[in-house]
Amino acid sequence: MANVYKISDTNSITTMDIVFVHGLNGDPYKTWTNNEDFFWPKWLINDLPEADLWTVAYDASPTKWKKETISFLKRSQSILEHLKIEGIGSRPVCFVCHSLGGLVIKQILRQSNENNSLGRYCDLYKNTMCITFFATPHSGSELANVLSRLRLFSRTTKLVDYLKCDEGYIKDLFYFFRQTSIPMLSFYETERTPLLKIFAFCKNVPKVNDWLCPIIVSEKSADCGYGESPSPIEENHYNICKFSNNEELHYKKLLSFIRNSMSSAGIPSMQNISLYNAKLSKTDPIIIEIESTINEGNWEESSKLISECEKILDNNTELPNRAEIYFFLAGAEKNRIEGLFNMTSQEKDYTKLKNLIEKAKRANE
């Protein structure tokens, strides 16, 4: 069974979504919880207040000792439907994935792209801003091959079969994403992982020999096929996505990657919005003066003030509520023109009023 849980609980206006997707034998919260038992994605609530944060839950057991999981394709379809229910994909979205979770998201986005002509789920692919992969085996994992050789013991599920290095479907996903333009950031582990961790949910598991500690996702397999080469993290497969603190180099790299992707997608950061609002506040005293000069019938002075206000707005085209002020200025201009019209008709004033109204309409789009 799949589900999607919202991490952030904020009343602020958000403009994008960040979705965390765990991997094989993972958990929507424990996968991203560090040694201090802190769920580190919550750091992003402060570092990226523009985003709503989500975490995906799905059954990703590697063995049948619990139960047999449904197929990789059906699981991806189920998650896709849950994302759609939450409205994820209707605006810019960033995925942060661990291990198998990266392949799940790649399959989901491939399906979204293929359904474009049918008009179903297509927005998710179109609005995916970036993807971060923590130890995702883009070309397969030796782990699957080892577990398959231990099939009598491990009773591996269908999900494990999709991770094999010679699996045709994983190769198809790899070549499909080489043709996309979605920015991707990848990390790979440098430490070996005891296979015992794969069966951690069992209390009484025969001890696996110490030498059975493979590199589950190698540098080669972590390479998504284009863009920047994957970066190493000195951790094993399960600790690679557990940051100790928000000053850690790789957390900062993740944060910078998302911010750069936001900038490329034209999403203003909250920092910039604060700057815009500071500039916008410069117009407040001018507007008060405009109202005063209109009441006094001082059309010449109001004309100068309107021009000054326009200049501030035109130099800051991303001001969030500039349309409202343009409409105010259009109204002020109308009052000024009506005052002048009592004396003489001036065509240029009507032209200016028309231009102001057009600006307001464009600013409001």
Q: Where are the alpha helices (DSSP H) in 150-296?
A: 151-154, 158-161, 168-178, 219-222, 249-264, 270-280, 283-296
Assess whether 154 and 276 both reside in one domain.
no
According to the model, what pLDDT value does residue 291 have? 78
Residue stretches of the chain with pLDDT short of 70: 10-12, 62-70, 116-122, 142-168, 196-212, 268-281, 316-321, 339-349, 364-365
Assess whether 229 and 289 both reside in one domain.
no
Q: Quick one: which of 137, 105, 155, 160 has its CA closest to 237?
A: 137
Q: Quick one: which of 163, 126, 116 has its CA closest to 144?
A: 163
According to the model, what pLDDT value does residue 362 have? 74
Assess whether 215 and 101 both reside in one domain.
yes
Assess whether 144 and 279 both reside in one domain.
no
Assess whether 177 and 288 both reside in one domain.
no
Q: How far is Cα 337 from Cα 356, in angstroms, rounded to an integer?
A: 13
Helices H / strands E in the chain, number of each: 15, 7
According to the model, what pLDDT value does residue 152 have? 41
CATH of the domain at 162: 3.40.50.1820
According to the model, what pLDDT value does residue 140 have? 75
Q: Which residues pair with 63 in a beta bridge?
A: 156
Assess whether 336 and 250 both reside in one domain.
no
The per-residue pLDDT of the chain, averaged, comes to 79
Tens digits of residue pLDDT in 43-65: 999 899 889 999 999 987 765 54
According to the model, what pLDDT value does residue 206 have? 44
Tokens of 16: 């994008």
Tell which of 267, 289, 311 closes a domain: 267
Assess whether 326 and 191 both reside in one domain.
no
According to the model, what pLDDT value does residue 231 have? 95
**Structural domain tally of the chain?**
2
According to the model, what pLDDT value does residue 183 have? 94
Assess whether 277 and 160 both reside in one domain.
no
Tell which of 236, 267, 298 closes a domain: 267
Assess whether 196 and 341 both reside in one domain.
no
According to the model, what pLDDT value does residue 297 have? 76
Tell which of 219, 238, 267 closes a domain: 267
Assess whether 219 and 259 both reside in one domain.
yes
- Decide the pairing of beta strands 3-6 and 51-57: antiparallel
Could you list the residue range(s) of the whole structural domain that residue 59 is in? 3-267
According to the model, what pLDDT value does residue 65 have? 43
Assess whether 133 and 173 both reside in one domain.
yes
According to the model, what pLDDT value does residue 120 have? 60
Assess whether 22 and 36 both reside in one domain.
yes
According to the model, what pLDDT value does residue 306 have? 84
According to the model, what pLDDT value does residue 44 have? 95
Judge contact between 325 and 332, C-beta under 8 A. Answer: no
